[in-house]
Structure 1
Amino acid sequence: MKQFHRLRFLLATFLLFACITPHVAAFTVSSMNINPLGYQAAGTPMTVNSVIVFSSEGTETFPSASELHMSTNLVDAHWVPVLVLNGVETNLTQKNGGSLIFPGWYFSYPSTEKVQLKVTLTGNIPMNPSPSQNFLKIQEVDSNNTVVSTAHVDMSATPVTTVSTPTKPTTKKTFTPLPIDTPTQKSPTGIEEGIIAIMGAAFLVLKQK
């Protein structure tokens, strides 16, 4: 009877210890490169390159019963995953859409192995991006569909800008007509002298009468 009570005590102690022992994340994001950087307008093509490193602690690199969930708020997203095992790259199945899910056994190896996942994500900035949206979110989800750990990169919020219309100075332009050159007409030589002589002769005739 005493052994039974002692067994119950040991079992209760073990369960309590298991509940308060923090879970160690099975992955870390060793690098993240977003191009182009900074705020981008809606529709801008984006590229997100990330490297996920799986844990070398414990007996396996990633729990085989868990899943690795990746998601994005980029529009027309395209995923290109590459598994790197001890430096050797293996192309995994590419996918279109807002999420990518891998079963845990994809990355479950003895902890002595070096396991990484390289992911190239492309897509376009959505309308009205906000910090509640993500370029990339990575989660470890266990067999009970519980999120164990999360890593994510938020989008930049739309900056508030004041659109001002510049005032153009009013300049009054005076149109200056182009000068017109008018050639001066000259009387033929001798005509003026002939007219004067005729008028003088007529004056003399009138005077004699």
Structure 2
Amino acid sequence: MPSYKYILLGLVFFALLLLYRWIPSRKVWALFSLTLLFAGAAAFWSFPPPPPPKMTEAERAEIHQQQEIFTAWYDEHKKNITQLDYNWQQYHNILESFKEGAIDIQTAYVRLRALTEDAKRTRDAVEAHIPPLALIGINYDLCAAVRQKTLAYADAQQQAISRTRNAADPAQLLTRDPAEQSRILEDTMIRESPPGLFLADEISTLRDNLTIPPEKDE
């Protein structure tokens, strides 16, 4: 059924049509119409929107259950993100230590080789940590998007570390000058570094979906 707003609006237009035939002066009709339209518009917007229907106990229980499922999954996912951040910090620490002369190219290569294995393990952990099927509809889709973005980032990070390791291989370097070697590694890092990992939109939408709105007492 149409709301009272639209019934009121229809009555206003119907009254204007009748008055157009009854009032001989078009100026008077125009002024009266404007007055009636302004009054109708004010009344139209003065009606408060209908309150949203209250949640049933079953709906509340379902949201609580979804909250628990998501929280358990996301807590584990955050551990993988923390490990990705740690790997990337270690990567930069190795390059910086070599640039400053704190380690030689052989040590840098050995550390990058070990870090490549760590990056692969982290990437595999992200891939294996799929969203639980118990998440419903859009909540599952959003978690899947979070995982996919993180996996793409982990892939790019592993590739950057791996290619920098290859560039640091003493057997393959064409120069023995540490400054030139450092420049080669930095160039590889700049070229291969992945863009940032941005998950704020998906996580914000998930938190909104899994928050029970406050309800006022009648």
Select the structure of larger CA radius of gyration: 1
Q: Higher strand share goes to which structure?
A: 1
Relative to total residues, which structure has the larger helix share, 1 or 2?
2
